[in-house]
Copies of this chain bind each other. A is one copy, B any other.
Amino acid sequence: MGLSDTLKAINDPVRRAILEFLKQGDASAGTIADQFDLTQATVSYHLKLLRQAELITVKKDKNFVIYHLSASVFEDLLAWLYTIGGTPHDN
């Protein structure tokens, strides 16, 4: 919902890989889980966090749950980054 959730969501290599995978197109929970050497339950947990951070959206198709990247939420993060690093500073 806020910056904190966005940061928490992307502060994990598995979740970043999920986002990168979804960049190539929508996919079901099972297909996503197959990408990792983790149980499906664990991947489902990561998907939940990404959903809560609104970085992905869900749609049902038959008994599949299809996930879709929703990158617009990064705007808050970008705004914060510009707050910190936006103005020229002598690095």
- A residues with a Cβ closer than 8 A to B are 4, 7-8, 10-11, 13, 16, 19-20, 23, 69-72, 74, 77-78, 80-81, 83-85, 89, 91
Contact = CB atoms under 8 A, between A and B. Distances in A.
A14 to B, nearest CB: 12
Q: Is the interface of A mostly helix, strand, loop or mixed?
A: helix
A20 B83 contact: yes
20 contacts: A4-B13, A7-B7, A7-B10, A7-B11, A11-B11, A16-B80, A19-B84, A20-B83, A20-B84, A23-B83, A23-B84, A71-B84, A71-B85, A71-B89, A71-B91, A72-B91, A74-B81, A74-B85, A78-B78, A78-B81
